[in-house]
Amino acid sequence: MIRRKTLECGTLFVVLTGDITAQATDAIVNAANSRLAGGGGVDGAIHAKGGPEIMAECRKFGGCPTGYAVVTGAGRLKAKHVIHAVGPIYSGLTDDARLLALTYKKSLECAVKSGCKSVSFPSISTGAYGYPPADACPIAMKTCHDFVNDNPVIEEIHFVLFSDPDFALYVEQLEELK
Ligand code: ADP
């Protein structure tokens, strides 16, 4: 399933179901952990398909704080870069939303610094990290919308969802965006 919408600022938002590792955007975003140590979910899929050189680069950073992101090459993946973003572990406290928004913003700052024009995001923090998808979705999309309004260099953002309910949430939110 796929839905596309060009926003007033000129950036194309694409909402789709699929596997983030298959995206051919300039960068794909990894839902990483703060040790950049790999794991399950998106992280496991990226390292499994991208090959060991991504982890070799990750080790050089020695970690990344929650809300921030680092960039590596993309090994055998179609993308040119992997942006390893550390979303918050859901706690139910108000800081969750701030940290989740910061994670998307820092990821896009990394994309701009690396010269990327297109970026694919998974639904950060909503798997093992427990963030309710219905709360995370508007934060993800609004933060990206605000960012591209200020940084028109990003031409295309893909939101790659793993389930039909998540896809439906993103489509509903996409309709709200101008
Ligand atoms: P986090 O630890 O940040 O919660 P996860 O990787 O556990 O990250 O999950 C984030 C979201 O990504 C979940 O909705 C999960 O179902 C989804 N997901 C898992 N694997 C993939 C994949 N290969 N491509 C896209 N989304 C995926």
- Ligand 1 atom index nearest CA of 124: 3
Residue 20 Cβ contacting ligand 1 at under 6 Å:
yes
- Quote the tokens at residue 47: 């390292």
Helices 52-61 and 41-50 sit at what angle, rounded to 10 degrees?
A: 120
The separation between the first and the last C-alpha atoms of the chain, rounded to the nearest angstrom, is 22
Amino acid 20: pLDDT: 98
Domain of 168: which CATH number? Answer: 3.40.220.10
Q: What is the pLDDT of residue 34?
A: 98
Closest approach atom of ligand 1 to CA 126: 4
Domain region containing 150? 2-176
Shortest-distance Cα residue to atom 17 of ligand 1: 162
26, 43, 96, 166: the active-site residue: 43
Question: Which residues, listed in sequence order, are joined to residue 158 by a DSSP beta bridge?
Answer: 14, 120
Predicted local confidence at residue 167, as pLDDT: 98
Whole-number pLDDT of residue 87: 98
What are the residue ranges of helices labelled H in the chain? 41-50, 52-61, 95-113, 133-150, 164-176
pLDDT value, residue 130: 98
Expressed in angstroms and rounded, the spacing between residue 162 Cα and the centre of ligand 1 is 7
Task: Say what the pLDDT of residue 171 is.
Answer: 98
- For the Cβ of 88 lying below 6 angstroms from any atom of ligand 1, the answer is no
Cβ 81 vs Cβ 74: under 8 Å: yes
Report the pLDDT value the prediction gives residue 78, as an integer from 0 to 100. 98
- For a ligand 1 pocket test, name from 42, 64, 99 the mutation site with the most ligand atoms within 8 angstroms of its C-beta: 42
pTM of the model: 0.98
Token reading at 74? 């993309």
pLDDT in tens, the chain (178 residues): 999 999 999 999 999 999 999 999 999 999 999 999 999 999 999 999 999 999 999 999 999 999 999 999 999 999 999 999 999 999 999 999 999 999 999 999 999 999 999 999 999 999 999 999 999 999 999 999 999 999 999 999 999 999 999 999 999 999 999 9
Alpha-carbon distances, residue 100 vs 55, 72, 142, 158 (angstroms): 24, 21, 11, 17
How many domains in the chain?
A: 1
pLDDT recorded at residue 173: 98
Rounded-to-integer distance, Cα 65 and Cα 35, Å: 8
- Give SS3 for 38: coil
Q: Which numbered atom of ligand 1 lies nearest the CA of 160?
A: 25
Can you give the pLDDT at residue 35? 98
Catalytic, 150? Answer no
Strands 2-6 and 12-17: antiparallel
Q: What single letter denotes the amino acid at residue 86?
A: V
